[in-house]
Amino acid sequence: MLSPAQISEFKTILDQRYQELREEIRKVLLESDKEQFQKLAGEVHDREELSVADLLVDINYAEIDHLLKELHETEDALRRIREGRYGICVDTGESIDLERLKAYPAAKRTLRAQTIYEKTHAGETHASL
């Protein structure tokens, strides 16, 4: 079980990461609006160039998707702090190891429960945009 001081420390870390993620998402979205993508699309003359342009756009979307997923996980962790459930596995009700939380403060499952979750939910995708 985490002490109030530890929870406060994790809240500070999560608040900071939340702000960083919002800024990263903002920057990626601004970059995607820049002329480089419009110019690249205008310069496409054959299928290979079109494939490269599509790949760059797909990479950009994948980056945004990854950042949004982490943002949602961070928001969820902050909500668990407010509700007094932070550091407790959502599946088993067991305490999440301190080392796991230090490695990923938004963790919502014990390592064992996360491993089981990943095996039983492999291939599931959820649209985030």
d(CA 33, CA 57): 11
DSSP state of 46: S
Q: Kindly report, residue by residue over 41-73, the tens digit of the pLDDT.
A: 555 555 555 555 555 556 677 888 899 999 999
Q: List the domains of the chain with CATH numbers.
A: 4-120 (1.20.120.910)
Q: Kindly report, residue by residue over 75-110, the tens digit of the pLDDT.
A: 999 999 999 999 999 999 999 999 999 999 999 999
Letter for the amino acid at 103? A
